[in-house]
Amino acid sequence: MEGRILVKDRYFVPYIPYERLEKAIDAVAERINHDFKNFDGTPIILCVLNGSILFTGELMKRLNFPCEFTSVRLSSYEGTLSTGVTRKVLGLTSSIKGRTVIVVEDIVDTGKTITDLHALLLDAGAADVKICTMLLKPEVYKKDLKLDYVAMEIENRFIVGFGLDYDQLGRNSKDIYILDSKTEEKTAMKHFLIFGPPGAGKGTQAAKLIDRFGLRHVSTGDLLRREIAAGTSLGLQAKSLIDKGELVPDKVVEGMIASELDQHPDVKGFIFDGFPRTTAQAEHLDAMLAARCQQVDAVLSLMIPDETVFERIRHRAEIENRVDDTKPEIIRNRIATYHGKTEPVISYYKGKGVYREIDGLGSIDEVFDRVSAVMEEYL
């Protein structure tokens, strides 16, 4: 087993050698063979692409009862705000109606994917669905669904090798490697979200934070205008929608953010302003960052009373000649809309333990000192 390896832009260190994996696969195959020794029928071995290819190949070489093979991929697409993300199975070529299916997965952590697949297969008519996973992270698996066969339990760390990838790389290693935490402590990119109602001073504080801490500002409005001006495919798609008077969908905005992250791999970190605005967007941002072995480090929420928000919006409207924002009913509607849209997002990040409230009253420098003090805990 090699020493520390570089996969894309991250270093990984040895974790599970192939010899240990072989023994674990031997043991789990023995349990499956025992259970299906006198099975009346021919079960289907279902490989979940792409991660479980190597594990499925090794497992099938050890199975000594008649079985069929097929593979599937799970695809996610956005539903309504109420239903969130819906999944569907792609590539299922064998009929599973009335059949016993043994799902072979590479790794189970939160269990979202495997529970979705289990339900989808039963809905498709499978008589019984067994779950076999090479790896399980018991620390984070809290689902009620029973996992029938687990080859090995591991800690909740990011790994690559033996079919598992980091941004589609690293699958071809026969050994498994774990993210080098010592390197990550020194080089990990930081991500901050700045929240606050209209008039809270988010833009002003973000500009000062960027200057002081050397971070990059990500404003969805700025990204949109820049992509349109540059004539990129995402920009042209957005312009076409805007010209029709339609809203730019999350998928386009998220594509622009992903592009921004990839174009600046060497910056110290990012401050997101104006995104995410919904829980669905927050989940997508988490997935986007997780694919890069990154995460939201802190949500900086500038807290000011609604009456202060009201006065600041009206004062700004008078200075900038925004006629609509001088009308009390419009201002109060903007405040209500902010609370309605952001409360679920705040609850989402509170649940992750990264939400930080900061007193937004006082001079610009006083608020900046408070925000900086929080930032310094992470940088």
235: CB partners within 8 A, 6+ apart: 224, 226, 227, 228, 229
Shared-domain flag, residues 258 and 206? no
Same domain, 211 and 343: yes
Q: How many domains does the chain have?
A: 3
CB 18 within 8 A of CB 171: no
Residues 74 and 48: their CA atoms lie apart, in Å, by 8
* Integer CA distances (angstroms), 109 to 9, 104, 156, in order: 24, 14, 8
Residues 29 and 105 in one domain: yes
Is the domain of 30 the same as that of 170? yes
Q: How many Å apart are CA 240 and CA 228, to the nearest integer?
A: 10
Same domain? For 84 and 193 the reply is no
pLDDT of residue 270: 94
Of 177, 183, 170, 182, the C-alpha closest to 15 is 177
User: What are the phi and psi torsion angles at 314 (to 5°)?
Assistant: -65, -40
Domain end marker among 157, 181, 205: 181
The model's pTM = 0.52
Same domain, 201 and 254: no
Do 155 and 207 lie in one domain? The reply is no
Query: Could you tell me if 196 and 71 lie in one domain?
Result: no
| Residues 91 and 136 reside in one and the same domain | yes
Q: Provide the domain limits for residue 50.
A: 5-181
Give the CATH number, domain containing residue 164. Answer: 3.40.50.2020
Domain identity same for 96 and 134: yes
Q: Which of 63, 121, 58 is nearest to 94 (CA)?
A: 121
Same domain for 366 and 253: no
- In order along its 379 residues, the chain shows pLDDT tens digits of 667 888 877 788 999 999 999 999 999 999 999 999 999 999 999 999 889 999 999 999 999 999 999 999 875 433 322 233 445 677 787 789 999 999 999 999 888 889 989 999 999 999 999 999 999 999 888 889 999 999 999 998 889 999 998 878 899 999 999 988 665 544 468 999 998 887 788 888 988 999 899 899 988 778 878 878 888 777 787 778 767 766 677 787 888 888 888 888 878 899 998 888 888 889 889 888 887 778 899 999 998 888 888 888 777 767 766 655 567 887 888 788 778 877 889 888 988 889 999 998 999 999 999 999 998 888 7
Residues 78 and 49 in one domain: yes
CATH of the domain at 366: 3.40.50.300
Last residue of a domain, one of 266, 287, 302: 266
